[in-house]
Amino acid sequence: MHQTLLLLPGDGIGPEVVAEVRRVAEILVPDLKFENGLVGGASLDQHSVPLTDATLELARRADAVLLGAVGGPKWINVARDKRPEAGLLALRKGLDVFANLRPAYCFPALVDASSLKRDIIEGLDLMIVRELTGDVYFGEPRGIDTDANGYRRGYDTAVYTHPEIERVTRVAFDIARGRKGRVCSVEKSNVMESGLFWRQEVTLTHAEFGAGVDLSHMYADACAMELVRAPKQFDVILAGNLFGDILSDEAAMLTGSIGMLPSASLGAPGTPGLYEPVHGSAPDIAGQGIANPCAAILSLEMALRWSLDREKAADALYAAVGKALDKGARTRDLGGTLSTREMGDAILAAF
Ligand code: ATP
Ligand code: MG
């Protein structure tokens, strides 16, 4: 039985970096089957919607989905629900991916390129697990209206249910078991009821499903500080949607280039994960063949690890990227001169 990887290149530099993912995957996992689909502006142009039902169905049936990027200036005036970005949201919703994984690590060859001191980031390897479908981004009621005193007001609702917290917490525990075994759960239980509930539920989930995992808790503001002061103290950070959003962007900046950062979004066990580089469609450099393909290639690495059960191939790919960087392979964002394709070549040559 062949495993299927659905490639959704999308817009801007998406197709350029996903082409390198495919080249690498064809060599590394020759038995993997590929499918292709449109998402974002590319789908909008062809089908008048940013994600068709047929493409969503392909995604649901795949073992993993690898997306390039969506959006660009061409579609800036399109109605909100038809924007390229709506295609990505529909995909996340359609696959019910509720755990967003964003690693922050720095390849040894790039440590000196960071603006942070060597001893702060050398050997840095942390994973942020962010809940992706709940919290203040989706809670009801929300709105802008006038209150009883006649004042205009804007408001949202931060809410988490027991199953929402339990399922993402279990993902964090599973991930920690394959790492250093430590999870730091982050909230503001000192000032928020939803935060207090989060801490209680994570603690209960730990008692039931946390064997072998060392759980600690931290307030989100303290965590933001600690991430900059001493990020190596963390193994896995578990957070709700809002704090996870902020902390994962903060952690991303520890490691330097946006061209190096992958992400994964996971749903229930046995359902396809969605893998994508953290960067966007980068319209300013699209079509020039100079984008760094590493973030997309490292997203493949995550797909091999978390959806396709091919840990050895994942390890080999991670090592090859590190080796290519050690040998000096650099795209422009890393201060070098290699094209997207040449960077792909350098990684292939490092196997
Ligand atoms: P989005 O709204 O889609 O997230 P954005 O404007 O926030 O887009 P990006 O599209 O990620 O961000 O681009 C931010 C900057 O980083 C741009 O100058 C872009 O050229 C650069 N950049 C992004 N990805 C890469 C890459 N893979 N290689 C080189 N440079 C990149
Ligand atoms: Mg952005």
Q: Which one, of 138, 231, 215, 126, lies nearest residue 169 by Cα?
A: 215
Q: Last residue of some domain: 226, 256, 286?
A: 256
Per-residue pLDDT for 255 more than 70? yes
The pLDDT, as a whole number, for residue 142 is: 94
Q: Last residue of some domain: 203, 222, 256?
A: 256
Query: CB burial class (10 A; 0-12, 13-18, 19+) of residue 284?
Result: exposed
3-class SS of residue 255: coil
Do 109 and 142 belong together in one domain? yes
pLDDT band at 113 (very low <50, low <70, confident <90, very high): confident
Q: Is 262 within a domain?
A: no
Known catalytic membership, residue 31: no
Among 42-56, 105-119, 238-252, 305-319, the least confident range? 105-119
Q: Last residue of some domain: 256, 282, 307?
A: 256
Give the ligand whose atoms come closest to the C-alpha of residue 12.
1
**ipTM for this prediction:** 0.94
* Catalytic position from the list 137, 156, 232, 345: 137
11 lines ligand 1 (CB under 6 A): no
Known catalytic membership, residue 221: yes
* Structural domain harbouring 117: 102-256
CA 249 – ligand 1 centroid, Å: 13
- What pLDDT digit, counting tens, does each position of 8-24 carry? 999 999 999 999 999 99
Contacts of 313 (CB under 8 A, 6+ apart): 28, 29, 304
Do 116 and 251 belong together in one domain? yes
Q: Is 187 within a domain?
A: yes
pLDDT band at 254 (very low <50, low <70, confident <90, very high): confident
The pLDDT, as a whole number, for residue 256 is: 67
User: What's the CATH code of the domain at 208?
Assistant: 3.40.718.10
Q: Is 261 within a domain?
A: no
Closest ligand 1 atom to 285 CA: 20
CA 135 – ligand 1 centroid, Å: 27
CB atoms within 10 A of CB 155: 12
| 222-231 as b/e: b if 16+ CB within 10 A | ebbeebeeeb
Contacts of 225 (CB under 8 A, 6+ apart): none
**Segment 34-56 mean pLDDT:** 98
The pLDDT, as a whole number, for residue 121 is: 86
Do 40 and 159 belong together in one domain? no
- What pLDDT digit, counting tens, does each position of 52-109 carry? 999 999 999 999 999 999 999 999 999 988 999 999 999 999 999 999 999 999 899 9
Q: Is 302 within a domain?
A: yes
Contacts of 92 (CB under 8 A, 6+ apart): 132, 133, 265, 274
- Total domain count for the chain? 2
8-state DSSP, 80: G
296 lines ligand 1 (CB under 6 A): no
Q: Is 167 within a domain?
A: yes
Query: CB burial class (10 A; 0-12, 13-18, 19+) of residue 76?
Result: exposed
Instruction: Name the residue with the closest Cα to ligand 1, atom 9.
Output: 280
